[in-house]
């Protein structure tokens, strides 16, 4: 079963495919130019000691984002069970 959730809600090591980026302006542009665009495979790499920012693996490199930025990225995941 596939379902779409916010990137913030993903657990460590979970993978998924980006479906939508729902933010515009500077933040939207900065996220996109780093390769965060729809149909891209990502995996949660880990989170900083205070659970924020989050590090993701995308396009062969590691990108870090704050949770409030990850909130705007919708990811399709395999629902467990």
Residues that bind other proteins (CB under 8 A): 21, 24, 26-35, 37-40, 43, 45-53, 55, 57, 59-66, 69
Nearest distance, CB of residue 80 and other proteins, angstroms: 19
Query: Which helix (H) or strand (E) covers residue 25, if one does?
Result: helix 25-33
Residue closer to other proteins (CB basis): 1 or 61: 61
Residue 41 phi/psi, 5-degree rounding, is -80, 135
Residue closer to other proteins (CB basis): 24 or 81: 24
Distance CA 27, CA 14 (A): 24
Handedness of CA 9, 53, 28, 16 (dihedral sign): negative
Residue closer to other proteins (CB basis): 5 or 35: 35
């Amino acid at each position: 079963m596939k379902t779409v959730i916010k990137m913030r809600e993903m657990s460590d090591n979970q993978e998924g495919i980006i479906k939508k980026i729902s933010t515009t302006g500077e933040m939207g542009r900065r996220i996109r130019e780093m390769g965060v665009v729809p149909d891209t495979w990502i995996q949660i790499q880990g989170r900083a000691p205070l659970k924020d920012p989050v590090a993701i693996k995308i396009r062969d490199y590691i990108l870090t984002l704050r949770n409030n930025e990850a909130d705007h990225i919708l990811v399709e995941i395999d629902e467990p069970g």
